[in-house]
Structure 1
Amino acid sequence: MGSSRKTHKFFTPSPWRSGNQFSLLPNGDQFFPEIISAIESAHSSIDLEMYLVESGNVATRFVDALCRAANRKLRVRVLFDHVGSRGFNQQDQLRLKESGVYLRFYNRLRRKKLFRNLARDHRKIIIIDDQLAFVGGTGITDKFDPTTSNQDAWRELMIRIQGPVVRDWKGMFEHIWWHYKSPFNFKNWRNKLQQTKYSSFDNVKLESITPHARINGSRGFGIDPIKGALISQLRKAKRRAWISTAYFYPSRKLRREIKHAALRGVDVRLLLPGPKTDHPSIRYAGQSYYRKLLKCGVQIYEYQPHFLHMKVALIDNWSSIGSCNFDRWNLRWNLEANQEIIDAAFAEDVSNMLLDDFSHCKIIESKHWASRSWFQRFREFFWSRVGLLITKIFDQ
């Protein structure tokens, strides 16, 4: 019982920290070269946790850099989700292992696990020398690289992080790395985690004008502090609440708070995928909520140039960026992790980025939405019912 309680506590949000630096890295032509360069410049350690991994040009660049780092006698640890990395071929895996890279797979599929196979590691974390971190929504795949996929590249965002909060990202990685070592040794994990204790950092009073940040992580199975933080901020919103997500299928509670914020006069905007998406069924299910949201004054933007895959929430001067889509599946089953930041200057950077994204969107207007075709209405009805049925099955 004791170990269970400690494990649960770890997944609550970390303490707020000051003294951090954050940089936005939009799209793969910016963040991939930055991450590869950091790997090449690493001096002691590299920790990488990723969901979507597929062999190709981008994966080869990562494998080459990681192998070179291991050959320089750095400790290199790589944790891939077993389902998300199905496209990562055996040759690439063998190259990593032969170079001395420690490679593990999260929650390997097993028939006897039944529904536990649905629990996936959806986080995207890279930590360099325990001093630098990259966090966001990318995968190691050509899908995110404009130089390879051109117009088909997915719209994505990573952030570059330095400062005390990097140690919290390190602690999150350590927990999963040691928890899924077989057999699991809680004492060993606890000793390893001592290296990431928070006592060396001072918590920040949130009333202070000093920028501060924390990480927020979800462990799946209905434990979703990320959604809780979003709802809390929506209730306090005074000026704006802008949310970008790749898969819009929110819970009733989250929809209610979005509508309430708009009815209070808050500038509420949803930045969602347009016709370019890898899961059209989820898009149709989410569109079934458009009518009521529009009626309450929520502005809905559908991104047109590429598949919008980034996950961002900007509410007044609070922002949340990371791996978590605000859909029921992510919040129920997946390991997720977001960086939360309260900083007026950083919020302005996020705002400017989103304003540019809005300019490439189709704005959904109530009048035109009301006149959509019967076939579109049928798709919304069908896929929303499928979604509700799946939700009820797994709620049992």
Structure 2
Amino acid sequence: MEPPSTGTHGWERPDELNRQHEMRGPMGLPPGFRAFCHALYQSTRVRLEPGHRVELVENGAVFDELCCAIRQATESIHILVFIWRPSEPSNRLVEALCERARAGVACRVIVDPVGSEEVRGEHDFDPQVEQRLRDGGVEVHYFRPLSGRWLGRLFGRTHHKLVVIDGKRGFTGGFGIWKSWQGQGDSPEEWRDTNVRVEGPTVREMQLTFARAWQECGGALLPERCFPELEPVGDARAGFVESIGASGISDAERMLRMVFAEARERLWIANAYFTPPNAILEQLLEKRKQGVDVRVLAAGPVHDWRIVRASQRATYEKLLKGGVRIWEYQPSMMHSKTVLVDDWLSVVGSTNLDALSLHRMREGSLVVADRHLASQLETCWARDLKHSKEMTLARGGRTNPWRRFARQVTQILAVDR
């Protein structure tokens, strides 16, 4: 790790004493794949194991893929999801799950009751959807109900989007089970999102993430057959990084810091809630100084949190002055959480670049070393930029008091930072 930078880019800085004792940017990694793998391992305890097959699943196609995989299940189906609301996608999944449950497949579902709250404002999973699942033989649990425990649990949610089939196939990304994830991400009602389907050894880690949440929710220990030995099925190396929130630097932030540090030629970030801590903003500027092509694709005028978009825009001025290029997606809510580094390293998962994801929520992202997946993400970028507006200092890039205030508010949840 290089010594902390002594320069300033205009964001608030901690006092010098704290700076001497905090992990701050820029991170410096030795060149080479092995060096990156070692850095990721010692930072997150996750190894990039060989033998994976990983494919992108974009937008509403995720429901076709999920229903197909569920109907092929023979042993178990496990779903851990932040948002599940009544909708056509919900009906499709409920029907497929109940069909397999009646066939003897163990179907287990964990729903975050805060993420799945209805328009009526109740922090609860829709009772009709829940009853249909239970009547069909699906076991359902809530993750940390708020009843009587608001202060301790309000922000400690599970933001995972995780499906594991037979312990052999896994899905993760930004999807929720609701109408917003239908379609092609090209209208205000249909969000733009990116997910992955993965087969190979790291699916065991995804299964373990579900198992640990299942225990906390009151579920029984999963049988040993839910953790089958997984043979190599492809050429990609992959690892699943789970983050559970931390007082200090979480595994989500550690993972992102190492991935960003690895960039030598290209660092392209697509993220729905781009309001990262100052240390990461400084790292992006440092990578640009090193000659890396640093780009950010953020949510544009279609946004579900006005204050978050304002906070996001508070970061633009310094980044733009430092040579970082920024686009905002125009047709719909850009909800993806991806990173593309050079021509071989990718991240796809549920992790946003905001204080909630990095410091409070449970998150999961797949880190993949694979030129094929990187090429797929590059194709997505080319298509998305056709529907995006590049920001400049003269066009939306300047900060203002409202944006500065919004950033201060959204950084409150950053723990010990």
| Range into which the TM-score falls when normalised by the shorter chain | 0.7 to 0.9
| Higher helix content, 1 or 2 | 1
Task: Give 1:369 shift.
Answer: 4.2
The 1:254/1:197 distance shift into structure 2, 3 A limit, reads: farther
For residue 384 of structure 1, what is the aligned residue in structure 2?
407
Residue 216 of structure 1 aligns with an amino acid whose one-letter code is: V
Q: Distance in 2 between matches of 1:243 and 1:361?
A: 14
Asked whether 1:47 is paired with 2:78, we answer yes
Counterpart selection for 1:17 from 49, 52, 68? 49
Asked whether 1:336 is paired with 2:366, we answer no
For residue 267 of structure 1, what is the aligned residue in structure 2?
293
* SS of equivalent residue, structure 2 residue 400: helix
Counterpart selection for 1:364 from 377, 382, 391? 391
Question: Structure 1, unaligned stretches of length 5 or more?
Answer: 1-8, 183-187, 203-209
* SS of equivalent residue, structure 1 residue 79: strand
For residue 232 of structure 1, what is the aligned residue in structure 2?
258
Q: Distance in 1 between matches of 2:334 and 2:184?
A: 17
For residue 110 of structure 2, what is the aligned residue in structure 1?
79
The 1:148/1:70 distance shift into structure 2, 3 A limit, reads: farther
The TM-score, its normalising length taken from structure 1, stands at: 0.86
The answer to whether the 8 Å contact 2:274/2:353 transfers is yes
Residue 165 of structure 2 aligns with an amino acid whose one-letter code is: I
Q: Distance in 1 between matches of 2:67 and 2:186?
A: 18
Which of 220-229 and 268-277 deviates more? Answer: 220-229
The 1:369/1:233 distance shift into structure 2, 3 A limit, reads: same
For residue 213 of structure 1, what is the aligned residue in structure 2?
238
Question: Structure 2, unaligned stretches of length 5 or more?
Answer: 1-40, 119-124
* SS of equivalent residue, structure 1 residue 285: helix
* SS of equivalent residue, structure 2 residue 205: helix
Residue 32 of structure 1 aligns with an amino acid whose one-letter code is: F
Q: What per-residue deviation string (whole Å, max 9, x for no partner) do you get for residues 177-230 of structure 1? A: 123327xxxxx85x85796498x889xxxxxxx631100010113452122122
Q: Distance in 1 between matches of 2:151 and 2:201?
A: 40
Counterpart selection for 1:325 from 335, 340, 352? 352
- Report the RMSD for the aligned CA atoms in angstroms: 2.6
Displaced runs of 4 or more, over 3 A? 11-14, 147-151, 191-198, 367-370
For residue 284 of structure 1, what is the aligned residue in structure 2?
310
Residue 267 of structure 1 aligns with an amino acid whose one-letter code is: D
The 1:142/1:13 distance shift into structure 2, 3 A limit, reads: farther
| Number of matched pairs | 366
Asked whether 1:126 is paired with 2:151, we answer no
Asked whether 1:68 is paired with 2:94, we answer no
The 1:229/1:385 distance shift into structure 2, 3 A limit, reads: closer
- Identical amino acids, percent of aligned pairs: 30
Q: Distance in 1 between matches of 2:257 and 2:47?
A: 19
The 1:395/1:264 distance shift into structure 2, 3 A limit, reads: closer
The 1:13/1:276 distance shift into structure 2, 3 A limit, reads: farther
Counterpart selection for 1:154 from 176, 186, 191? 191
The TM-score, its normalising length taken from structure 2, stands at: 0.82
* SS of equivalent residue, structure 1 residue 368: coil
Asked whether 1:104 is paired with 2:131, we answer no
The 1:195/1:89 distance shift into structure 2, 3 A limit, reads: closer
The 1:194/1:34 distance shift into structure 2, 3 A limit, reads: closer
* SS of equivalent residue, structure 2 residue 395: helix
The 1:384/1:193 distance shift into structure 2, 3 A limit, reads: farther
Counterpart selection for 2:215 from 178, 185, 190? 178
Residue 177 of structure 1 aligns with an amino acid whose one-letter code is: W
